[in-house]
A = this chain, B = another copy of it.
């Protein structure tokens, strides 16, 4: 599809993707897409990423139930970054059981975890 070829895929065939919560505008995650994942995002309306650690497609929420329902797909000025706006099922995007992944804040030369764990990861992935 032509629109997929407009994206500047990097040497590994990936682009970074920012996922932002539609309602709160909170940035939830930074993840990666390959061409197939982005195609599936558009076709299914659910967030699908490329897992670099597992080297396979990662249907967000497949284990946790915390699917992300896509509201919009955007591409930046250089065609090398994507932004998804989503509704976050269960209100938890992070594998640590937090609302989002950016919970470490720099305070006086130290990273402080300032967001609460909403659900024990053992419960999420059991």
Interface residues of A (CB under 8 A from B): 1-3, 6, 16, 18, 20, 24-27, 29-30, 42, 72-79, 81, 83, 94-96, 98, 101-106, 109-111
Residues in chain B near residue A18, CB distance under 8 A: 18, 27, 30
Residues in chain B near residue A75, CB distance under 8 A: 102, 104, 106, 111
Smallest CB separation, A66 vs chain B (Å): 14
Residues in chain B near residue A27, CB distance under 8 A: 18, 20, 27, 83
Complex Cα distance, B82 from A111, in Å, reads 12
Smallest CB separation, A83 vs chain B (Å): 4
Smallest CB separation, A64 vs chain B (Å): 14
Residues in chain B near residue A1, CB distance under 8 A: 109
